[in-house]
Amino acid sequence: MKKIFTFCILLLFFSLSLNAQGYISGDLELRNDYYVKDTAIGASGTNHYDDLKSSADSWLTLNYTNNDWGFRTGIRLDMFLNSRFHNPNNDAYTAFGVGRWFIEKDFKKMTLTGGHFYDQFGSGIAFRAYENRFLGIDNAIFGVKAKYQLNDNWFVKGFVGVRKNRLSFYKPIIKGLNIEGYIPIGDKLTLSPGIGVLNRTMDEESMSVVANAINASPLETRFVPKYNTYVFTAYNRLNAGNWTWFIEGAYKTHEAINVALGQAYQDKAGSVIYTSLTYSKKGFGITGQFKRTDNFQFRTSPEDNQTLIKGAINFIPPINRQNSLRLPARYQPASQEIQETALSLDFTYTPIKGKTFNFSFSEIHKNDINLKTYALDNLFRELYLDFEWKISKKLKTLQGFQFVQYNQDFYEGPAALPVDVQVYSPFFELSYKIDNKKSIRAELQYQSAKRDFGQWLYALVEFNIAPKFSVSVSDMWNFKPGPNKSSKNEHYYSVYTSYTQDQHRFFVSYVRQVEGIVCTGGICRLEPAFNGVRAGINTSF
């Protein structure tokens, strides 16, 4: 790894000395957490709270681009010092090194990439290599990729490599081929079709683990697992006037999958169908989505299916609304790999300028839908309504209501949890511009659930002096915990301030955070309770 690092640095300076047309860009993200034990909320019992008391995570990226040469290269230094991003409930993780390096060169219509790269086919159902560092996700592929522009509207790309695993690699080999195009038909109709195929080949060591587990399972459940698994995908986006229709179907050949933790492997093929239809015109928009997933578990190895994000090669997009407000975002369903039938409807209406209504409905079931018990056996249901009102140039408000029905046992098991958590969350937000630079924002939210954490109140006040300074104070008060919670009247307060100088942003905060499932784009992980100080720097150049 040191040789690679030296090579990239030399390459960078060599490039600089030869041609001044290129430019360097990059960014730094640094976060320090300081832990203060707080047994009342469960922020204890790990070595972060008992002994270590602090952790630091940092990503420093340096890229060089020379458009005259059609050449790009980059390197990223990752540092995890007593980190708890990857496995927050376990011991600290310490490692540092080159988290990403790549070189890329254009040759007329061909682009070649070597090193770590991020990419996806279609919506990512068959293949998506991406990074979400604060969820502990870095699914880069390390290998070579070639993209060939067949003509102005069509390209083909292929790659072969292995998936990154923190600062090393998973051993199974991944190959992929994708053809995508753009077909204009008349003035108002366009098609953007694509097809892709993926192949994952297991290594002997991973296969031995799987084979041993199958040999140890009951005789009637045993089968010969496959070294090679193939995924085929076909997709198309149609734009016709105000209409947009996207559809993707993917099929995975049979392989060993973990249908449920602790159960024997099963030999199953998988499929996903995902579609969205949107109509949009000035002041009005409506989007309907549907997804059906059936045994579409696609990881570097079946043995990696034990956790939500380990070894993932693909990404199944979520259907439900992605909420950002603190309390309405508490109950989010993770996209399911084994089975899920989901639909959603999003509606936006602006009857007059400054007044906008948003309505959203989503519902998620298992695949064996029984019409007689349809309303009762859903996994997730959300009804959301808000009203944005720009009262004047200085004052605007957001008010709304959310209802969620959430099968906590299904999404957060295997511990026995409530199967029917019904949550009601009204919310209100006010933003007021004091002058051109100063503004103040306030949020007030309430949440009521008969189970889980029970009733919450959340309030936040934020003061900004653009573009440099921001300070906020908030409290999330669990004033009436649910019957299964031993905690009483806990306050989860936070104080946050940031200062921006040029492109550098410094922040420091005190946070008392409740445990919970944190989801971003349908990818979820358990975020344990936290109590302490968080400080860091974000900068780009």
Partner 1 sequence: MKRNKFLYFAMAMVVSSLFSCKEEGPFINFEEGQNTLVDTSYLSTTPIPSQNKNVLFEEFSGVRCSNCPAGNAATNSIYAANPGRVVPVTIHSDFLGFPYENDQDLRNDEANEIANSLGPVGQKPAAFVNRKVINGLRLLGSISTWSAEVANELAQSSFVNMNLEVVSSDLTERSLRYRITLSYSAAADHHNLGFFLTESEIETDQLDGSVHVTGYIHEFVLRKAITPIIGEDLANSVEQNTVIVKEFEIDLDDFDSEKIWDMSHMYLVAFIRLDNDNIENAAMVKILP
Q: Does 152 bind partner 1 (CB under 8 A)?
A: no
The answer to whether 415 contacts partner 1 (rule: CB under 8 A) is: no
Stretch that binds partner 1, among 48-56, 204-212, 469-477, 496-504 (CB under 8 A): 204-212
Name the 3-class secondary structure at 403: strand
Q: What is the DSSP string of 84-132?
A: -SS-TTS--EEEEEEEEEEEEEEETTEEEEEEEE-EEETTSSSEEE-EE
Among 207, 327, 342, 523, contact with partner 1 (rule: CB under 8 A): 207
Residue 499 within binding range of partner 1, rule CB under 8 A: no
Q: What's the one-letter identity of residue 21?
A: Q
Alpha-carbon span 265 to 338, nearest angstrom:
13
- Which residues partner with 430 through β-bridges? 397, 442
Residue partners of 118: CB distance under 8 A and separation at least 6? 129, 130, 131, 139, 140, 141
Rule CB under 8 A: say whether 227 interacts with partner 1. Answer: yes
Segment interacting with partner 1 (CB under 8 A) among 126-134, 216-224, 466-474, 513-521: 216-224
Which residues does residue 234 pair with via DSSP β-bridges, in sequence order? 195, 249
CA distances for 472 relative to 459, 493, 509, angstroms: 11, 11, 9
Q: Please measure the distance between the N-terminal and C-terminal CA atoms of the chain and give it in whole angstroms.
A: 25
Question: Quick one: which H or E segment has residue 408?
Answer: helix 408-412
Q: Is 230 in the site for partner 1 (CB under 8 A)?
A: yes
Q: Residue 222 interacts with partner 1 (CB under 8 A)? A: yes
| Smallest separation, CB 127 to partner 1 (Å) | 13
Closest CB 253 distance from partner 1, rounded Å = 11
Closest CA to 156 of 185, 107, 195: 195
For partner 1, the closer of residues 230 and 469 by Cβ is 230
* Contact string 168-187 vs partner 1 (x = CB under 8 A): -------x-x----------
Q: Is 263 in the site for partner 1 (CB under 8 A)?
A: no
Q: Which of 89, 153, 208, 242 binds partner 1 (CB under 8 A)?
A: 208
Q: How many residues bind to partner 1 according to rule CB under 8 A?
A: 28
Question: Does residue 463 touch partner 1 according to CB under 8 A?
Answer: no
Q: How far is the CB of 513 from partner 1 (least distance, A)?
A: 32
Residue placing its CB nearer to partner 1 in the complex, 156 or 473: 156
The per-residue b/e assignment along 404-425, b for 16 or more CB within 10 angstroms, e otherwise, is bbbbbbbbbeeeebbeebebeb
- Decide: is 25 part of the binding site for partner 1 (CB under 8 A): no
DSSP class of residue 51 equals: I
Told to check if 150 binds partner 1 by CB under 8 A, we report yes
Residue 268 Cβ, how far from partner 1 at the closest point, in Å? 16
Positive or negative torsion for Cα 515, 516, 519, 525: positive
> SS3 for 282-296, per residue?
CCEEEEEEEEEEECC
* Among the listed residues 9, 18, 183, 209, the single contact to partner 1 using CB under 8 A: 209
Of 382-411, which residues contact partner 1 (CB under 8 A)? none
Q: Binding partner 1 by CB under 8 A: which of 2, 68, 216, 373? A: 216
Whose structure tokens read 């031993």? 486
Per-position x/- string for 91-130, each x denoting binding to partner 1 as judged by CB under 8 A, each - no binding: ----------------------------------------
Task: Choose, by CB under 8 A, the member of 137, 214, 334, 519 that binds partner 1.
Answer: 214
User: Using the rule CB under 8 A, which residue among 156, 430, 511, 535 binds partner 1?
Assistant: 156
The answer to whether residues 214 and 265 touch, using CB atoms and an 8 Å cutoff, is: yes
> CB 227 → partner 1: shortest distance, Å?
5
Q: How far apart are alpha carbons 522 and 525 in whole angstroms?
A: 10
Name 473's bridge partners.
461, 495
Dihedral angle sign, alpha carbons of residues 438, 439, 440, 441: negative
Nearer to partner 1, 354 or 413 (CB): 413
Q: Write down the least CB distance from residue 408 to partner 1, Å.
A: 25
Rounded distance between C-alpha atoms, residue 39 and residue 477, angstroms: 17
| Residue 261 binds to partner 1 (criterion: CB under 8 A) | no
Q: Cβ 308 to partner 1, closest distance in Å? A: 22
By CB under 8 A, which span of 208-216, 436-444, 491-499, 519-527 interacts with partner 1?
208-216
Nearer to partner 1, 146 or 191 (CB): 146
- Chosen residue from 34, 118, 134, 148 binding partner 1 by CB under 8 A: 148
Give the nearest distance from C-beta 484 to partner 1 in angstroms: 25
Which of residues 72, 147, 163, 226 is near partner 1 by CB under 8 A?
226
Q: If we measure between CA atoms, which residue out of 147, 144, 136, 54 comes closest to residue 99?
A: 136
Residue with Cβ nearer partner 1 (69 or 227):
227
Residue number with CB closer to partner 1 (154 or 477) = 154
Which residues contact residue 80 at a Cβ distance below 8 angstroms, ignoring those fewer than 6 apart? 57, 86, 93, 94, 95, 96, 166
Residue with tokens 């290599």: 129
Which one, of 62, 93, 98, lies nearest residue 80 by Cα?
93
Q: Pick the stretch among 20-28, 218-226, 304-312, 341-349 that binds partner 1 (CB under 8 A).
A: 218-226
Alpha carbons 533 and 510: distance in angstroms, whole number: 4
Residue 225 binds partner 1 (CB under 8 A): yes
Binding site for partner 1 (CB under 8 A): 148, 150, 156, 158, 175, 177, 197, 199, 204-205, 207-212, 214-216, 219, 222-228, 230
